[in-house]
Structure 1
Amino acid sequence: MTKISKRRFFLFSLLFPFAFFKTSWGHPSKPNLLVVWKKKRVLALYRNSKIIKAYRIRLGFNPKGQKQKEGDGKTPEGKYYITHKNPNSKFYLSLGINFPNKFDKKRALNKGLNPGSDIFIHGLGKKNVLLHYMFDWTEGCIAVTNKEIKEIYELVEPGTVLYIYA
């Protein structure tokens, strides 16, 4: 490099310090894992073992413990997958979860119960945002704000693994 080229390079790197870095500001990477911690009320999106985004969530109206049967107001716990995207959800947008999985079905069958179905990660729809922050209100789903579900919906693909912990 000539003396002038070195000076220009140095000056350019002072004026534009991030020009040589690929940035993802405002556009997180697509996650390959979702994790929910019910007790903490957090949904985290992971890419290669690193959290790329986390959201405050609301759960079923009776959130403690494992979902046993339809209508119990509990959010299930275990390993699941995102099955599909629903752009026509009454809760703005939603991501389907493969609940009940084979373990949920077996547990319910052994107790003579219907495990339920239709568990989603979804927005609020027309629900009041303030009420969303005050208490758990879903039938067992995982709820975020409409703005948050829009971002999650764009990032998460069907087939993504979801772990739900107590």
Structure 2
Amino acid sequence: MLRIFLFLFCVCFSIITSADENIWLLIDTTALKIEVKKGEKTLDTINDIAIGRGGAGIKTHRGDNITPHGEYRIGWIGERSSFHRFFGLNYPSAENAELALHKGLIDKYTYKRIVEAHRYHAVPPQNTALGGQIGIHGLGRADAKIHKSMNWTHGCIAMTNSQIDHLSQWVEPGTLVKIK
């Protein structure tokens, strides 16, 4: 019975594996760049990224087009995304959930589901009032001219397909991502 539960838990909640703790990403939403870090040393920099149309800050609800500040982990990697590649973040974080609970944006049940997912290193629910499916992705077939001219996402971090391919050498499930 326990074996079946663990199998279903892994399938349903996409357990986040443990990445190299020394490699992490710093996303600077003001400078519009990503730094690949090892400890405090910068190994690589990717410039000219795009963020949410609503800028960056505290995300309050699905559809606000804000790229959330905070610390997250890569929860899953979508190699066959309509955006070329998609590195999904484990958003919302427990901190996001706590703030939303205190503001009355989510109920206690939703809060507990998010916190439990983080406790077990799983991807939190992606269908809450706080939104979901936040990640780092390529353009897919999107217009590169728009990408260069404005922040255009619904809260994700976007880069060209060649940039996301380059970034993939550093990223795996569990990689720490700090968005400031």
Q: TM-score range by the shorter chain?
A: 0.7 to 0.9
Pick one of 22, 30, 39 that aligns with 1:39: 30
Cα RMSD of the aligned pairs, angstroms, is 1.6
**Corresponding position of 2:19:** none
Contact 2:35–2:42 (CA under 8 A) maintained in structure 1: yes
How many residue pairs are counted as aligned between the two chains? 136
Pick one of 74, 80, 94 that aligns with 1:88: 80
Letter in 1 for 2:87: L
Unaligned runs of 5+ in 1: 1-30
Letter in 1 for 2:171: V
> Secondary structure in 2 aligned to 1:108?
helix
Letter in 2 for 1:90: S
Letter in 1 for 2:64: D
Partner Cα separation in structure 1 for residue 97 and residue 77 of structure 2: 23
Larger radius of gyration: 1
**Corresponding position of 1:61:** 53
**Corresponding position of 1:152:** 167
Partner Cα separation in structure 2 for residue 123 and residue 148 of structure 1: 7
Q: For residues 82-141 of structure 1, give each alpha carbon's deviation from its aligned partner in whole angstroms, at most 9, with x where no partner exists.
A: 112111111000111010011111222222322111101000011111110100000000
Shift of 1:37: 1.1
Partner Cα separation in structure 2 for residue 61 and residue 132 of structure 1: 11
Partner Cα separation in structure 1 for residue 169 and residue 77 of structure 2: 10
Alignment of 1:1-166 (within 5 A): 32-56=23-47, 57-113=49-105, 114-165=129-180
Partner Cα separation in structure 2 for residue 99 and residue 144 of structure 1: 19
State the structure with bigger RCO (CA 8 A, min sep 6), 1 or 2: 2
Percentage of identical aligned residues: 34
Q: Pick closer, same or farther for the CA change 1:74–1:49 going to 2, 3 Å.
A: same
